Structures are given as C-alpha cells and as structure tokens.
Chains A and B, each alone.
Chain A
Amino acid sequence: MALLEAENLSITFGGLKAVDNFNVKIEKGTLYGLIGPNGAGKTTVFNLLTGVYKPTEGKATLDGTVITGKRTIDINKAGIARTFQNIRLFSQMSVIDNVKVGLHNIYKYSTASGIFKLPSYFKKEAEMEKRAMELLDVFDLGSERDYLSCNLPYGKQRKLEIARALATEPKLLLLDEPAAGMNPNETAELMDTIRFVRDKFDMTILLIEHDMRLVAGICEELTVLNFGQVLCQGKTSEVLQDPKVITAYLGE
C-alpha cells in the first residue's frame, strides 16, 4: 500500500474550486513532484494534507490511517512535516532553537522538570542538543547555530526550515517551492541535499516547484495541477513530454 493516498480531495473557497477531485498515490521512498502554473492550487493541497484547511470532500490516508479531519499537530505527530512557500521560521529564536522546537515531541520532559532543572532536564536537553547539531550539520548550518534565524541569508533560511521539519521525524516531507529565490548554484546544491535527505533519512518527499530543471533532475514522478484539477500524472519524463502539460505552461 502507498504511504500517502489522497482520494477526491476537494475544497471550495466561496465558489472557487481551488482543489477539485485531487487523487494521488505516493509510494514510500519516492521523490514526488507537484507542479502547475501560479494559482493552480498546489499550496492548497499541502494545506489540505496538513489540516490547515478541512477538505469539503474526499479523504487522505497516511500509512493506512485517515488524516483528514485531524488537527495540524496530530497530523504532524502522525508523520507529515512541511516547509512553507513564504518562509516561516521562528525569527527571533536562534538557529539551533528552531530545530529544538522541531524536536519538541521527540525528546520530552515535563515543564516542572524544566523549571526545577531535574535530572531528566539535563539528560533530554543533552540528547536534544546532540540531535539538533546533527541535523544542522547535514545542512551545513552548524557554524551559525547561535545566530538569530532572521539574520541568516535567504538560502540558509530555506535549509533551516527543512532541518526543522525533519527534526519532527516525519514519514512524509512536504516542501513548498524549496528553491524559490535561489540562484542556480544554490539550486544545484539544494538538489543534492534533497537527494541526500531522501537516502539518509529514508524519506518520502513531495515537493512543489517551479524550477523545471530541479523537477526534471530529481523527481521520479509528477502530478501536474491546473485550475485545481489534475492535468496529468505519472513518470517525470513522460509527463514533461505530454502536450497538455506543455500547453498549460506555455499557453495556446
């Protein structure tokens, strides 16, 4: 059975069908791409999958359990983590603290042991510190650990967001335009990082992207959305050859 299955997911915003009958099956370990013109409904699909919006119709299952209707935090605990199109870091917190917030539900100790510095505080904090540094080092952010996250350059902010999402130990990682605003060098480096993350963390990744080189370079399968509807679905090479997709992108 596929890791993520969405069946007929739909949502309407005051008459506008932002997502209409969205179906997808993503197998474990896949690098899956979601593409489409501006306003096609890609981000809305992410918001439906993570419980930010409740679908008007349809359902989604992760690893066999239904996730539609659950709260965002429960969906995260069930195993979906995401990044945002317009970066949402904890801007007034340090780089490492951003990752530690991601580790919140992994290394637990009670509020009281934190206040009174009981042994469990020191034990869990040390473990958390170690794990957070490992994650930061994957993204080459180790030397900026004490920076306020808002002071990081743009490309590094995007990486930090991925590190924070990975910290929650998800089964499925959703990346919303991870290469937006990056120069070609940074994009190439990001492609390597995404592949590396998939291999090292044995991760399934669904990503939205406008950069066709990145999509063609790393995605194994694709879904193309247009006006909220699935236009085409399948192996990357085949989808990108499809005349319908070419028209949707280039116009008539």
Chain B
Amino acid sequence: MSSKPKSKLLKKDTRSDLITYAMVLVAFAVVEIIQATGSMTSLMRGLLVPLCMYSILAVSLNLVVGILGDLSLGHAGFMCVGAYASSIFSVCTRETIENPWIRFPIALLIGGICAAIFGILIGIPVLRLKGDYLAIVTLAFGEIIKNILCSIYVGYDSKGIHMSFESESSLGMEMDGKLIINGPLGINGTPTDSNFIVGIVLLLITLFVVLNFIHSRAGRAVMSLRDNRIAAESVGINVTKYKLIAFSLSAFFAGIAGVLYSHNLNVLAATSKNFGYNMSIMILVFVVLGGIGNIRGSIIAACVLTALPEVLRDLKDYRMLMYAIVLIVMMIITSSPKLVSFREKYGLRQFIKTKMANRWTKEVQ
C-alpha cells in the first residue's frame, strides 16, 4: 500500500530541483547563442550580470521569507557588506595576488562570510522577538550600514590603517598612503572579475545549497518553525539555532551577490539606489511575486522584472505603466485562487495527487 508512492516523493523533490537547474542552464545556453550570433545589444549585455545577481538575492531572501517565514527588509544591507568587504580585499591584494582565479574565490568567501557574520550579529538579538520586530530592525540595519559606508574614509600607509568620518585629509596619512574607501565616492579600482559565466555558476551554487538545505533535516526543522513554533519546540527543535542558520545562510548569499555586484563595476559607492531600502523592497517584490517559498518562481520573477524596464525602454513614458501592469498580472497569476486551482488541476504534480485522492476515497467507502 505504501510502497508505491515511496519512490515518487524522492523523485518529486529531485525532479523539481532538476527542472530549476535545467531552466538556468537553458537560459544560459540561449544567451550564449544570441551572443555568438552577434545580435545582442550592449544594453542587454550589461543586464546579464545584474540578472544573475538579482536571482541570487531573490533565492536567498526566499530562504528567510518563504522557508523560515520571517519578514526581513535588510537584504540590501547584507549585500552591501559583502560588496564592500570583498572590494576592500580585492583592491588591497590586486598587486600581490595577480591571478583572478585565486583572488576572486577568496573575495567571494570574504564577502559571503562577512555578510553571514552580520546576519548572526543581528539575528541573535532580533530573532528571539516575534512579529514585525525583525522587519523593522533589519530595515534599520540596512540603512545604517549604507549610511556608515557612505561617509567613512579609510586608508592605509606604513603606519597602519587610518579611519575618519570627516574627509580624506583628516586621515593624516604619510606620503606612501593609499586611500581605500573615499567617503561617498566609495572604492575605486575593484578588478572587474565578474562576468556572465561567473554569475551563472554562482547562481547554480546558490541553488544547489539552498535547495539541498530545504530538503534536509535542517530545512525541515526551519519549515516546522514557520508552520508552528510551539509544536516544533514540543518535538525538540531548537528555535534559535535553526532561525540563525537560515538567517545567516541567507545573508551569506546576499553577500555573494554583493561580491558579484562590486566586481562587475570599477567603482563601488553606497547609494540609496543600490543598497537602500528600495533595493530590499524590490528583492522582496521578486520573492512575493514569484511565490513565497517557491525558489524557481523567485528566479523567474527577478529576471522578468529586471529585464522588463530595459526591454520596454522604447515605449518611453508608457514604460512604467507597462511595468505596473505586468506586476499586477503576475500577482494575479501567482495568488488568485481560481488561477491557482486551474494550475493545480492541470499541473503534472496535481494529476498525481488527484489520482491518489481518488484511491483514498475508494478505500474509505
């Protein structure tokens, strides 16, 4: 009786994961083909790395919003930490480690780990609270980080590291001094190690880690907290531990996205456009529109909503109107009960479920 669906479940999870990986690989192949035929506009080419970056951000935020069930509005803050930490490293070691194949992976680890540490530091006090406190504190964190990095001057010389919040000259560096962070002008001269292939590889790694995490013992523990914290505690799930794991893992990949971002441009500056709360909200919009808890949906939403304004550029003033219409249509598709039931009725997964349901009713009669 129970042996038949057994193999099905294992397959169902893995099959769904494989579809997600395949989707990314197909998108990659299509882009490569378009590039090879030379019909890609420079506008589109400039979008490739951001598309990967937004996808990584959306997938990692979904871990907190969809799997852990907490609202975080500071994702851009973690991205900012990752971007700055890795850029500082890359600028400082540009001459010593010339090989980008060595330098960039280290930069990635540094960016990710620094962001994860911030995730833990913020998570420890905040994740104990319930309700909207997390949203408020993470929102504040994102803004504070951005503003601090926007006004700090850091440099080093033979005497060591200098730091100031006033101006470059107040650092008082020796002649051999080198400026790293130049206040609102940010960091200059980050090697541009990012490219589309790197972005795709990082997206695949993110997917691999996040999807495997969700299907593991730890992922189930995190989801049980989302569904019913009291029941989870009653079966011995450590609330703080698993909330922190999910939160810091999410921050880690936000940091990775930050590294991708900062190594895609020569100049890195913290502005409200790239690391402000608008960005955090936009990532949240990707997650919500893609379907909360739906990893594949996050990627699709991130790509559609990032590419759309650029593709519609020709429409000039009607651009934002179209954007709004697409937003509304997507929202209806992902959440209208009628359409959801339509999808479920005609979706493959539901087909299997209905068959099982029929069998069950037969057994009862």
- Contact bitstring B208-227, A, C-beta under 8 A = 1, else 0: 01001101111111011011
Residues of chain A with a CB closer than 8 A to B1's CB: 142-143
Q: Does A206 contact B (CB under 8 A)?
A: no
| Interchain nearest-CB distance for A53 vs B (Å) | 12
* Cβ B235 vs Cβ A111 within 8 A: no
Which residues of the partner chain A approach B227 to less than 8 Å between Cβ atoms?
89-93
Which of A89, A94, A128 is the one whose CB lies under 8 Å from B231?
A89
Q: Is the CB of A133 within 8 A of B235?
A: no
B251 to chain A, nearest CB (A): 15
CB atoms of B216 and A115 under 8 A apart: yes
Q: How far is the CB of B10 from chain A (nearest CB, A)?
A: 8
Which residues of A have CB within 8 Å of B228? 88-91
Residues of A within 8 A of B223 (CB): 90, 92-93, 97
| Assembled-state Cα–Cα distance A96/B220 (Å) | 11
Q: Closest approach, in angstroms, between the C-beta of A143 and any C-beta of chain B?
A: 6
Neighbour of B236 across the interface among A52, A73, A114, A136, CB < 8 A: A73
A104→B217 contact, CB < 8 A: yes
Contact assessment for A167 and B235 in the assembled complex, using a CB-CB cutoff below 8 Å: yes
Q: Is A105 part of the binding interface, using a Cβ–Cβ cutoff of 8 Å?
A: yes
A100 within 8 A of B: yes
Q: Does A244 contact B (CB under 8 A)?
A: no
Interface presence of B232 (CB below 8 A): yes
Stretch of A59-67, A74-82, A223-231 contacting B (4+ beta carbons < 8 Å): A74-82
Residue in B2, B212, B217, B237 whose beta carbon sits within 8 Å of that of A116 in the complex: B212
Q: Which residues of the partner chain B approach A36 to less than 8 Å between Cβ atoms?
A: none
Contacts of B360 in A (CB 8 A): 143-144
- List B contacts of A97 (CB < 8 A): 220, 223
Given the contacts A92-B226, A143-B1, A104 and B235 also touching, CB distance less than 8 Å = yes
- B contact residues, total (Cβ < 8 Å): 39
* Chain A residues whose C-beta falls within 8 Å of the C-beta of B226 in the assembled complex: 92
Q: Mark A122-136, 1 if CB is under 8 A from B, else 0.
A: 001100110001001
Determine the chain B residues whose CB is within 8 A of the CB of A94 once the complex forms: 9
B237 closest partner in A (C-beta): A104
CA distance A115 to B195 in the complex (A): 26
In chain B, positions 1-44 with a C-beta closer than 8 Å to chain A are 1-2, 5-6, 8-9, 12
B109 to chain A, nearest CB (A): 15
CB distance from B112 to the nearest CB of A (A): 14
Write the B319-356 contact mask toward A (1 if CB under 8 angstroms, else 0).
00000000000000000000000000000000001001
Does A82 lie within 8 Å of B237, measured CB to CB? no
Roughly how many angstroms separate A170 CA and B2 CA in the complex, as a whole number? 25
> Would B212 and A114 count as touching, CB distance under 8 A?
yes
Q: Does B93 contact A (CB under 8 A)?
A: no
Closest CB of chain A to B223's CB: distance in Å? 6
Interface size on A, residues (CB 8 A): 50
For B9, what are the chain A residues with a Cβ–Cβ distance below 8 Å? 94, 96, 145-146
Closest to B352 in A: A146
Would A133 and B213 count as touching, CB distance under 8 A? Answer: no
Decide if A199 is an interface residue (CB 8 Å cutoff): no
Chain B residue contacts of A105, Cβ below 8 A: 236
- Is there a chain B Cβ closer than 8 Å to A158's Cβ? no
Residue B233 at the chain A interface, CB threshold 8 Å? yes
Q: Is A3 an interface residue (CB 8 A)?
A: no
Closest to B360 in A: A143
Does the CB pair B6–A133 fall under 8 Å? Answer: yes
Kindly report which residue of chain B lies nearest to residue A137, judged by CB atoms.
Answer: B2
Please report which residues of chain B, range 226-279, place their CB below 8 angstroms from some CB of chain A when the two chains form the complex: 226-228, 230-239, 245
Q: Would A142 and B2 be within 8 Å (CB), given that A105-B236, A168-B235, A168-B236 are in contact?
A: yes
* B132 at interface, CB cutoff 8 A: no
B359 at the binding interface (Cβ < 8 Å): yes
A residues sitting closer than 8 Å to B (CB atoms) are 50, 52, 71-73, 76-77, 81-82, 84, 88-94, 96-97, 100-102, 104-105, 107-109, 111, 114-117, 121, 124-125, 128-129, 133, 136-137, 142-147, 164-165, 167-168
By a beta-carbon cutoff of 8 Å, the part of chain B in contact with chain A is 1-2, 5-6, 8-9, 12, 209, 212-213, 215-221, 223-224, 226-228, 230-239, 245, 293, 353, 356, 359-360, 363
Question: What would be 18 A-B contacts, judged by CB atoms less than 8 Å apart?
Answer: A73-B239, A82-B234, A88-B234, A89-B228, A90-B227, A92-B223, A100-B217, A101-B237, A102-B235, A104-B237, A111-B213, A111-B216, A111-B218, A116-B212, A125-B217, A145-B9, A146-B9, A147-B356
Other A-B contacts than A104-B220, A111-B245, 7 sampled, CB-CB below 8 A, are A71-B233, A89-B231, A91-B227, A101-B232, A142-B2, A143-B356, A146-B8
